[in-house]
Structure 1
Amino acid sequence: MRAGQLRHRCALQRAVETPGRGGSTTSVWSEVGQLWAEITIPTGRIKVAADQLTAFISAEIRVRYRTDIVAGMRIVNEPSTYLVEAVLPDNGRTMLRLLCSNVVNP
């Protein structure tokens, strides 16, 4: 992939459990690193949930191959945040296709 297509500078984040008061734990997002990505948004739909309209957006994000990206991480490209649902190797270990979702309340 040519570098020109990787035009979005994004933060890669993972959930980290931190101890809270009374023995409970709290999940916070910790930045793993920065990466360049190509973000395409192939589908979207609107659904009524709890008397509110909610837009569900599915995105495909392509990044250079890395071994540390797994499902459950997230990609932040301000102002959007995408949850990584699946990680698929592409082009013989040169690229990764990340199938992601984003929930937006209009």
Structure 2
Amino acid sequence: MKEKDLYKRFVKETPKILHHRIENFIGVGFPDDVLYINNKFYTCELKCTDHNKIKISPFQISFAMQHPIGHYFLIGHKKEVKIFESKSIDDLLKDGFKAKNPIATNWKDIRDYLYKL
């Protein structure tokens, strides 16, 4: 799975969310997707991996640490998907896709969680 495919699927699975894809080469570390949910903005970093390890840049790590609330990591792994709060950054770096305490581990639960924000 590629990041652009994960993004397309994310948009398809969450029709009540307004997505703004960010292709940013100047402000490195800024998240891939800005979400507008129930009159509030959130950010989401999209990551895909064929292995357990997740490649997260130092700039993305810094952003996650500075924004522990309202920032998420959506991780695609083969045919699986999980979403984590940014405060789980240490676990994601250490344990990769197998990190404990994801918010949700399937599209329905991801959608249900985000719609309640």
TM-score range (shorter-chain normalised) is: under 0.3
By percentage of residues, which structure has more helix?
Answer: 2
Structure number with greater Rg is 1
By percentage of residues, which structure has more strand?
Answer: 1
Question: Which TM-score applies when normalising by structure 2?
Answer: 0.25
Q: Which has the higher contact order (CA 8 A, sep 6+)?
A: 1
